[in-house]
Amino acid sequence: MSARILKQGDILIGSIHAALPDADILRFQTELAERVGKHRSRAVIVDVSGLDVIDSFTARTLQDITRTVRLKGAEAVVVGIQPAVAFAMVQLGLFLDGVRTALDLDDGLELVRDGLLDRHARVG
């Protein structure tokens, strides 16, 4: 499978390196959800910088991933959407409604770390 999930502290980073068949992207979604619970992760970053196209199924699955992760108590961010991919998505009417996005992995890490700090400040 052209997707990997890495653990960095309480953050999971899922990287999709190439277009995946529908069954593989669903497996990736399930694996991320399971690992959030197993590792008690507080955030998930999905890096799609390796994709040169995001079709309607992938866009819907990315939305589902972020919703699933939120229901399990973690923040979720999709990073690395290439400019040409973003342009094509808009032209096709594909939007990632309700999905937090960031330019790249560094910005995504900063975003979730700020979110985690805000959450800790509210709790403590």
HSE-CB of 97 using CA atoms within 13 angstroms = 4
The contacts found for 114-118 with CB under 8 angstroms, 24 or more apart, are 115/43, 115/75, 116/10, 116/42, 116/43, 116/75
Bridge partner list, 100: none
Q: What is the pTM of this model?
A: 0.90
> b or e along 35-58 (b: 16 or more beta carbons within 10 Å of the residue's beta carbon)?
bbeeeebbbbbbbbbebeebbeeb
Q: What is the pLDDT of residues 7-60, one digit of tens each?
A: 999 999 999 999 999 999 999 999 999 999 999 999 999 999 999 999 999 999
Looking at every residue in the chain, the average pLDDT score rounds to 91
Nearest to 98, CA basis, from 71, 74, 77, 117: 77
For strands 101-102 and 75-79, give the pairing: parallel
Taking phi first (over 0 means left), then psi (-120 to 50 degrees means alpha), and beta for anything else, what does residue 5 get? beta
Q: What is the CATH number of domain 3-123?
A: 3.30.750.24
Q: What is the pLDDT of residues 90-117, one digit of tens each?
A: 999 999 998 999 999 999 999 998 876 4
Domain spans in the chain, listed from the N-terminal domain onward:
3-123
Residue 122 has pLDDT above 50, yes or no: no
* Confidence at residue 86, expressed as pLDDT on a 0 to 100 scale: 95
